Amino acid sequence: MRLITVIKSKIHRATVTDAGLDYVGSITIDRDLIERAGLVPGEKVHVWNVTNGQRFETYVMPGERGSGIICVNGAAAHRVRVGDKVIIAAFVLTDEPVEPRMILVDEQNRFAGTLHLTP
């Protein structure tokens, strides 16, 4: 068996709404976005800051449904500013094909569409 790491979930160009230094850690994401992207609370995610180039890993924490919240907590809050654009991605180690759930959001972090790997 040969395992490969492939993308399973992605939230593309979300806007950071808050950055809380005084928290143990994580990224708080609107529950609607978590579900649409197929993420799981507690799941490890990569966060890529499109605005400043910073990259870090953390875990998902569910936020209020419909709030549009994207809040980077703890030490990682030093790597973002409110208004920054970020990509949030999760991967899976597998030997089976994966159909990734990748979503695009608008300026208020509302679902705006689905992204696909192939045109």
CATH number at residue 77: 2.40.40.20
**Which residue out of 9, 23, 26, 67 is catalytically annotated?**
26
Residue 52 near residue 84 (C-beta atoms within 8 A) = yes
**Which residue out of 9, 23, 59, 67 is catalytically annotated?**
59
Claim: this prediction has a pTM higher than 0.85: yes
Task: Average pLDDT across each block of 10 residues of the chain; the chain has 119 residues. List them in order.
Answer: 96 97 91 98 98 98 98 96 98 96 98 88
Q: What is the C-alpha to C-alpha distance for residues 92 and 84, in angstroms, rounded to an integer?
A: 26
Q: 26 an active-site residue?
A: yes
Q: Which domain holds residue 37?
A: 4-115
Q: 67 an active-site residue?
A: no
Domain total of the chain: 1
